[in-house]
Structure 1
Amino acid sequence: MSPITPPLPRRDDPVGAFMPGARLHIDPTGSGPLDGFTCGVKDVFDIAGATTGFGNPVWARTHPPATAHAWAVERVLSRGAHVVGKTISDELAFSLSGVNHHYGAPLNSAAPDRLTGGSSCGSAAAVAAGLCDFALGTDTAGSIRAPASFCGLFGFRPTHGVVSTTGVCALAPSFDVVGWCARKPGILERVGDVLLPPDQLGLESSVIHWDLEAWSIPEACDPSHRVQIAGLVSPSIRLEDGEVSEQGLDLWFETFRTLQLAEVWAQLKDWLEAATPALGPGIAERMKAARSVTAEQVSAAAALRDDIRRQLERTWRRTHVIVIPTVPGAAPLRSASVETLEAYRRHAMRLLCVAGLGGCPQVTLPFLRTSHAPHGLSLITPPGTDRQLLALAHRIAAKFAALD
C-alpha cells in the first residue's frame, strides 16, 4: 500500500483536520469555565443549519441540515467555548485508523510519519496541531482514546450514559459515548466540569490494579515502569498484580466485537440498503461482518457481557484504579497496509474493550513512548467516578511534569 495522501493543506488547516469547505465558526452563547477556549467538533455532532456528514459524502447528501445543536455542543457554547470548525471523522465512525477513503487522513503533528488514529481523527489532529484547545469526539470502541494516545494528548471516555448523545450520529448505542481530548489536563477537566453530572461514588486511589495480561501485549510498555507509574498515582500506593479478565482479553474482545457489529447493522441497515454507498477499505469488510452476525451469537455475547460486568464489580471491591496501556504501542505508519492496520486494530481492541464492556470511565495520559512516537497510559475507574478520575489525572500529570 502506498503512503496515504493527506487532505490538501489550507492556510487555516495545515494538517487537514477540518471538513472541506469554509470553516464553521460559532460564538459562545454564554460564559463559564470554558471562556476563551476554542473547540473542534467531530462531524458526527449536529450543528444547527449544517449537515452532519458522519464521515461519508452519501450520508451528507441523504440527510437534511440539523435544526438544533447536539446537546454537548450547546453545552460547551453556553459555558464560554468558541467552536472553530467541524473535524473529519473516519467513515461512519467505524475505524480506529484515522483514514477516511473520501476525505483523507489528517496529519499527526506528534509523529508525522504515523496515523492519527480514529475515528475522532480530525479532532485529535486539530488539538495536536494547536488549531483548537480541545475537541469533542465520540468513543464506541476507542475512537477518542486511540487518537489521543497516537497524538500525545489527554483523552477521556466517560461512564456510559452520563453525557447525553442527543444530536450525535449513533453507531452502537450500548457502547457509544461523547468523549473529548486536549493537550492540557486542566482543560480536559474543565470540559468535564461542563459536561459531567456529579459523581455517584467516592474514589480512592490507594490500591491500583496492574493488569499483567494487558501489559504483556506486544510493545505495550517496559514493565519496569510500573513502580514509577504507581508512585505518580499515589505516594502511599499498594500495587496489585493480576488479570482483570478471568476468561482472557481475547474472549472479551470477541464479546465486544459481536455485540458492536450487531448494533452497527441494526443502526445502519436501512440506510445502507437504501443509499448503497461505496464504502472504503476496511469499512466495507467490517460492515459485511456486521450483516452476518446471528441472533444466537448475540445472545451468547450478551450473557458473556453480563458475566464480565460481574467480574469487574468484584474487581472494584478490592481495587480502585486499573492501569493499562491505552493501545499496544505507537500509531501505525502512514504507509501501513490494510492488513497491518487490521492486525493492529485487533491487538488494540483487547485493551480498548475493557471500559466499553464495563461502561467505565477511562482517561489516557501521554506518558509513554515507543519508536520515538507517543502512546498513552490509561487509568480506568468504576462507573460514576468520572470527575474524580479527571482530577486524579490532573494531579498525576502535574507530578509527571515535575519529573520531566
Structure 2
Amino acid sequence: MALTQAERDGAFIPGPRVALAGTPGGPLAGLRFAVKDLYDVAGEVTSYGNPDWARSHGVAASTAPVVLALLEAGASLVGKTKTVELAFGLTGENVWHGTPINPNAPDRFPGGSSCGSAAAVAAGEVDFAMGSDTGGSVRIPASYCGVFGFRPSWGAISLAGCCALGPSFDTPGWFAANAAVLARVGGEILPLGKAGAAGPLLQPDDVWANADPKVAALLQPALAASERVMGQALRLTLMPEGLFELYENFRCMQAQEAWATLGRWVTQTKPGFGPGVGERFAAAQAMPAEKAAAGRGFRKRFQHRMRCLLEGGAVLAYPTSPMAAPLLAASQAEQNAVREQTMGVTAIAGLGGLCEVSIPAARLDGAPIGLSLVAAAGQDRMLLSLAARVAEELGL
C-alpha cells in the first residue's frame, strides 16, 4: 500500500494508532507516551520495522511488562513509533515505513534505531517515548533530535515482550523534552534504590579528541555547567588502546549475537531489506567465532576497569556523538564512517553495562548536539537526578 507523504515523514508507523488509557490518578497521569515498534502490545502486530517480519508474526498475545508498568502508573499510550528494520542501524532510515523527519534538523537523519520515538518527542507529539538501545539507539537519536535520552544500566529493566537484537547489550530507554519528565518515568520503572552522591566529574580527553573540533568547542559551556554542579573535572585517558578497540570488540560481539538471534528467521524468510541492513546481516553471518570470543574477554576486562573507575559515584562527561546528525544526502560510505566513529563512543556504556543520559546542550549549524553523563551500573537514579541539576544550570 502506497504511503502518503505525511505517513512517510511522520514519527509513527503508518496505519491506525494503538491507544490505551493509563490508570486514573497514577503518578504519570496526564502524560502521553509512545513506544518503539519492537514493544509488544496485546492484540497488535509488532512489525519490527519490516513488512516481512509483520507478515510472518501474528498479533501479540500480551503487552510488554514495561509498557504495562507505564500504563499502570497513569501514562496513556498514543501509538507505536518507527524503527530501523530489526533495530539494526544508527541513522534512522526505513524504506518501508518512511524515515521520520528530524523536527530540529529536517535536512538531517533523526538517528536510529529509535528514530520515531526521538522524533515524536522532539515534535511535541508526546511527553515521552520508549525506545531501545543496543549500540547507541537511544543516545544517538536523542543527540541528533535535540531531546533528553536515557539508557539505563543493562538488566535494570526487563525487555520481556520486546524484539531482541543483541541480548547481552539490549536495554530499554526513553526520551523526554525535559529532565523532569525523564526522571519521573525512571521513578516508576527503575528498580527501587536511593540516589547516592555524584562525583567526582571525569573528563576523558581521548573521547573529546574523537569529536569534531566544532562539536567539542560548542559543548564546553555544558561541561562548565556540569563542573559548577559537581566541581572541576578530573582529566584522564579512558582508552589508551584507542576507541577503535572498543568499536571493534563491540562490533564482533553484536554481530554474532544478531545472527544467533535473528539469523534463522533471515535465512528462512529471505526478507527484503533497505540499504545497509542486509549487508550488516551478511557480515554478522560471516563473523568468525574467535573474534566474538575475544570480544567477550575484552568486555570482562573493560567492565572491571569501569567498576574501578566509577565506583563511589564518579561520572564521565563527553559528547554523546562525535558529530551532528549526517545529512539526508550522505552516501552509504559516509554513513558507515559516521557509524564507526560514533560507536567507538557509544560502546563505552554498551560494553560497560553503564547508565548514560544525553542532554541537549548545543547546536552546530542549527543541528542539535548532546552532552552525555555516564555513571556506574546501578547508579541510574543518581544519574537522572544529576542530569536534572545540570539541565537547570544550563537553563533548559
Change (3 A) 1:309 1:201: farther
Indicate conservation of the 8 Å contact 2:41/2:63, yes or no: yes
**3-state DSSP class of the match of 2:210?**
coil
Structure 1 equivalent of residue 212 of structure 2: 219
Contact 2:313 2:376 in 1 (8 A): no
Q: State how far apart, in whole Å, the 1-side matches of 2:26 and 2:46 are.
A: 27
Match for residue 209 of structure 1 among 202, 208, 215: 202
In the aligned structure 2, how far is the partner of 1:374 from the partner of 1:335? 18
Q: How many residues align?
A: 394
Report whether the alignment pairs 1:39 with 2:33: yes
Q: 1:8 aligned to 2:4? A: yes
CA distance in structure 2 between the partners assigned to 1:331 and 1:121 by the alignment: 12
- Tell me the residue number matched to 1:173: 167
Contact residue 89 and residue 120 of structure 1 kept, 8 A: yes
Q: What amino acid does structure 2 have at the position aligned with 1:8?
A: T
Aligned to 1:84: 78
TM superposition shift of 1:246: 3.1
Q: Distance in 2 between matches of 1:231 and 1:52?
A: 41
Q: Distance in 1 between matches of 2:258 and 2:226?
A: 39
CA separation of 1:313 and 1:194: change in aligned 2, threshold 3 A: same
Contact 2:311 2:376 survives alignment (8 Å): no
Report the CA distance shift for 1:227/1:39 in structure 2 as closer, same or farther (over 3 A).
Answer: closer
TM-score by length of 2: 0.95
CA gap of 1:382–1:172, structure 2 versus 1, over 3 A, is: same
TM-score by length of 1: 0.93
For 1:375, what is the secondary structure of its paired residue? strand
Of the structure 1 ranges 265-274 and 317-326, higher mean CA displacement relative to structure 2 is found in: 317-326
After TM superposition, the structure 1 stretch with the greater mean CA deviation from structure 2, 144-153 or 315-324, is 315-324
Whether the 8 Å contact between 1:231 and 1:237 is mirrored in structure 2 is no
Percent sequence identity over aligned pairs: 41
Counterpart-to-counterpart distance in 2, 1:302 and 1:336: 33
CA gap 1:78/1:298 in 2 versus in 1, 3 angstroms: same
Question: How big is the shift at 1:245?
Answer: 1.5
Task: Check conservation: 1:366, 1:376, Cα contact below 8 A.
Answer: yes
Runs of at least 5 residues in structure 2 that lack an aligned partner in the other structure? none
Query: Which AA in structure 2 matches 1:86?
Result: K
Higher mean alpha-carbon deviation, 381-390 vs 295-304, is at 295-304
- Cα RMSD for the two superposed structures: 1.9
- Tell me the CA shift for residue 226 of structure 1: 4.0
The answer to whether the aligner puts 1:244 opposite 2:226 as a matched pair is no
Q: Is the CA contact 1:230–1:237 (under 8 Å) kept in the aligned structure 2?
A: no
Using the TM superposition, give the Cα deviation of residue 15 of structure 1 relative to its aligned residue in structure 2, in angstroms: 4.2
Question: Take 1:241 and 1:29, find their aligned partners in 2: how far apart are those partners?
Answer: 47
Q: Which moved more, 1:288-297 or 1:136-145?
A: 288-297
Pick aligned residue for 2:261 from 256, 259, 267: 267
How many angstroms apart in 1 are the aligned matches of 2:174 and 2:198? 24
Distance 1:168 1:236, change over 3 A: closer
Counterpart CA distance in 1 for 2:219 and 2:266 is 47
Name 1:401's counterpart in structure 2.
395
Alpha carbons 2:212, 2:322 under 8 Å: kept: yes
Q: Output the CA distance in 2 between the equivalents of 1:228 and 1:37.
A: 28
